[in-house]
A and B are shown apart, each in its own frame.
Chain A
Amino acid sequence: MKKLLFALMTTAAAVGFAATAEAQEKLKACWVYVGPIGDFGYSYQHDQGRLEVEKELGDKVETAYLENVAEGPDAERAFERFAREGCKIIFGTSFGFMDAELKVAGKFPDVKFEHATGFKTAENMGIYNARFYEGRYVMGQIAAKMSKKGVAGYIVSFPIPEVVMGINAFMLGAQSVNPDFKLKIVWVNSWFDPGKEADAAKALFDQGADIITQHTDSTAALQVAEERGLLGFGQSSDMIKFAPKAQLTSNTDNWGPYYVERVKAVLDGTWKSDDVWLGIKDKAVLLSPFTNMPDDVKAMAEAAEKKIADGWNPFTGPIAKQDGSEFLKDGEVADDKTLLGMNFYIKGIDDKLPQ
């Protein structure tokens, strides 16, 4: 194989530059997903981003992916395989891939690596993440406006910072409209189990919530809202088809623009390891069309979305922690490190964070 490649290269060099351009191989960009792309949630959205790269960059690129890759040795093998198969840029889309990806990045200095939601970088490994909490803030505002009882239900998977951050942002948004807003939280201990999510949604509605939101991937909770004639929010994907009368908006992941930009950067030779946290501003977090709400609420939501897009951070003080102690002074903005490691509730959340 190597010999063949060498022969090809020398031939190409002999024919001259024009020929080299033609013989140039397509750039190979590769993705490693933690779940199945059929989850219609987290991994599905990353794969939509990959497809956008194929669409945008056409025959300049070829892509490949591995799905359902377990965190640990399987992940390390996936990265190594891609690096050896000639991928020039590899995206690892789960936090748990961090150390495996870093290790492989060390072995292949010429390959560019990108890791989602982690915090370790290298010369050839950049990290990216999306500020989903920005969308959740807007959703909190909508919820406080639309809820008749002033109570929302929140279905969550595991108490990791990303999730806690989202709960706090949602509550901050709600409190900006209704300071006495209440949140009922249920942990289902799973990222993906439609049945459990449906059960949790029913329990939350029965306990007095009339709006539901979730940090789990399936459409089940929204379908329950639809059936009961109540309201809710989507997550990851636009779920309006599943709940045409219930979905207010959906906090969708939109990785396409970032993926296109990064793959282009490799094509141009301008790729540099970076640490980006994209948000509404960058169109990485998209709120799907505001539906099932009166125009004034819609206007409010659009205003909040614009304010955030213009650079305002929902975690701007004064904000107190749950126990009343100070988290942020008036006008102080939480830095990214604090948000990334967030493990406390803000004041007004009437629940104990499992530790």
Chain B
Amino acid sequence: MDITVNILLTIATAATPLLIAAIGELVVERSGVLNLGVEGMMIMGAVAGFGVAFLTGSPWLGLLASVVAGAMFSLLFAVMTLSLATNQVATGLSLTLLGLGLSGMLGTSFVGQPGGRLPYLYIPGLSDIPVVGKLLFGQDPVFYLSIALVIAVSWFLFRTRTGLTLRSIGDNHASAHALGIPVIRYRYLAVMFGGACAGLAGGHLSLVYTPQWVENMAAGRGWIALALVVFASWRPLRVLAGAYIFGAVWIGQLHLQASGGISVPTQLLSALPYLATVVVLVLISRNKRLTLTNTPAALGQSFVPDR
């Protein structure tokens, strides 16, 4: 039983940063903006989180810093693509490039320094219940935050008026504008929410997952988060499922290897999630109704309001 609990905990830790970054990007894309800079915002969050925790001694302040850093960094993308109408794909890629460089520069003095880890939740009594205690009441705080985010985003997008407005902007910014909706303002907020989430995901990396700072420690997780959003056909609960399936496949194959029961090339195993995403993409796009209701039709297009 213990091993099952441990496997589940490992999966949760591996899935959490993907889930948080993806849920943020989902909101961004629902508003019709494609920000390919997730990896860059994530790594900025990681360095800011570690740095502040290291300098102040408080991992909580670190976590807060990672959120702020992600949001501020995404603001750069927002000004470029929303106020100056630059191409979103090129700007997003540039943002990642800049983030990787800037984080390395800022983090030079943190290399080789052990940092603080966010404490795990512990509720006397509840956390000690066999099996479920640890799973439900004994994980790191960011895990709970990630689940709360999924629920909140899901409720916001599909149960609130503002969420409906946001989605309508993503579907057709011109008609939303014609109805008097401040398209650009909505998108600014969406992009910054996405940045904050990516930053938080980075903070999870450097404060929970592996409490340390090293250059490029996001190691491609931002790109996987981008894939997850589409894998989930822009539905929050499916992002949750996708992140956990992804984590389970990855952790599962590690266990298979460790128990000596595997002889498939490791490259094939590493390629599986990407192939799976392609297959899922094809499956959902074959279903016209599903695609039409969920895909933000204006995704990636610049919008300049005429006066």
- Contacts A218-B210, A219-B212 given; indicate if A186 touches B254 (C-beta within 8 A): yes
Q: How far is the CA of A36 from the CA of B215 in the complex (A)?
A: 7
Q: Which of B200-225 contact A (CB under 8 A)?
A: 205, 209-212, 214-217, 219-221
Task: Report A232-254 CB contacts with B as 1/0, cut-off 8 Å.
Answer: 00000100011000000000000
B14: chain A residues at CB < 8 Å are: 195, 199
Tell me if B3 counts as interface (CB < 8 A to partner A).
yes
Q: Which of A140-159 contact B (CB under 8 A)?
A: 153
Q: B266–A354 contact, CB under 8 A?
A: yes
Contact A195 B209 (CB under 8 A): yes
Per-residue 0/1 for A181-221: is the Cβ within 8 Å of any B Cβ (1 yes, 0 no)? 00011111110111111111011111101000000001110
Chain A residue numbers with a CB within 8 Å of B175 are none
Q: Is the CB of A199 within 8 A of B254?
A: yes
Q: A229 in the interface, Cβ–Cβ < 8 Å? A: no
Within the complex, the shortest CB–CB distance from B292 to chain A, in Å, comes to 37
Which residues of chain A from 6 to 50 have a CB within 8 Å of any chain B CB?
36, 38-40, 44
A184 neighbours in B (Cβ, 8 Å) = 258-260
User: Residue B255 contacts which of A207, A227, A352 (CB distance < 8 angstroms)?
Assistant: A207
- A204 touching B112 in the complex, CB below 8 Å, given contacts A196-B219, A218-B212, A352-B263: no
Which chain A residue shows the least CB distance to B221? Answer: A195
Q: Say whether A194 contacts B210, CB under 8 Å.
A: yes
Report yes or no: B258 in contact with A207, Cβ–Cβ below 8 A: yes
In contact, A199 and B250 (Cβ under 8 angstroms): yes
A351 interface contact, C-beta 8 A: yes
B293 at the A interface (CB under 8 A): no
Task: Report how far A200 CA is from B258 CA in the complex, Å.
Answer: 9
Q: Identify the stretch in B73-81, B103-111, B282-290 within 8 Å (CB) of chain A at 4 or more residues.
A: B103-111
The contact of B267 among A189, A196, A237, A352, by CB within 8 Å, is A189
Q: Within 8 Å of chain A (Cβ to Cβ): is B270?
A: yes
The reply to whether B210 and A198 form a contact with Cβ atoms under 8 Å apart is yes
A94 within 8 A of B: no
A350 at the binding interface (Cβ < 8 Å): yes
Question: Residues of B contacting A204 with CB < 8 Å?
Answer: 258
Partner of A187, one of B6, B7, B13, B257: B257
CB B234 to nearest CB in A, in angstroms, measures 26
List, in ascending order, chain A residues with CB within 8 A of B217's CB.
Answer: 193-195
Contacting pair B111 A44 (CB below 8 A): yes
- Contact for B258 among A153, A194, A196, A197, CB less than 8 A: A153
Quick one: given A184-B258, A186-B254, A189-B266, are A223 and B10 in contact (CB under 8 Å)? no
How many A-B contacts at CB < 8 Å in the complex? 114
In the complex the two chains form, is B259's CB within 8 Å of A36's CB? no
Q: Which residue in B10, B111, B112 is a CB contact (below 8 Å) of A199?
A: B10
**The one of A40, A190, A202 that contacts B219, using a Cβ cutoff of 8 Å:** A190
Question: Which residues 1-35 of B sit at the A interface, judged by CB distance below 8 A?
Answer: 3, 6-7, 10, 13-14, 17
| Of the residues B112, B205, B209, B267, contact of A40 by C-beta under 8 Å | B112
**From B113, B211, B250, B270, contact of A223 by CB (8 A):** B211
Question: Which B residues are in CB contact (< 8 Å) with A354?
Answer: 263, 265-266
A196 CA / B215 CA spacing, docked (Å): 15
Contact of B251 among A199, A209, A219 (CB under 8 A): A199
Residues of A within 8 A of B220 (CB): 193
B100 to chain A, nearest CB (A): 10
The answer to whether B259 touches A207, judged by C-beta atoms less than 8 angstroms apart, is yes
Contact B10 A40 (CB under 8 A): no
User: Nearest residue in B to A197 (C-beta to C-beta)?
Assistant: B210
Contacts of B111 in A (CB 8 A): 38-40, 44
Determine the chain B residues whose CB is within 8 A of the CB of A352 once the complex forms: 263
Compute how far the CA of A223 lies from the CA of B108 in the bound complex, rounded to whole angstroms: 21
A226 nearest CB across to chain B (Å): 10
Contact residues in A for B211 (Cβ distance below 8 Å): 223
Residue of B nearest to A218 (CB): B214
A44 and B215 contact, CB distance less than 8 A = no
Q: Decide yes or no whether B130 CB sits under 8 A from chain A.
A: no
User: Which residues of chain A come closer than 8 Å to B113, judged between CB atoms?
Assistant: 241
B252 nearest CB neighbor, chain A only: A203
Bound-complex Cα distance A194 to B207 (A): 12
**Once bound together, how far apart are the Cα atoms of A333 and B161, in whole Å?**
77
- On whether the beta carbons of A189 and B270 are closer than 8 Å, the reply is yes
Minimum CB distance partner of A196 in chain B: B219
Q: Judge whether A220 and B212 touch: CB under 8 Å.
A: yes
What are 6 residue pairs bridging A and B, where the CB atoms are less than 8 Å apart in the complex? A44-B112, A184-B258, A203-B254, A205-B6, A206-B6, A207-B258
Apart from A40-B111, A242-B114, what 9 extra A-B contacts exist at CB < 8 Å?
A: A38-B107, A38-B215, A40-B112, A184-B258, A188-B254, A189-B269, A189-B270, A227-B117, A354-B266
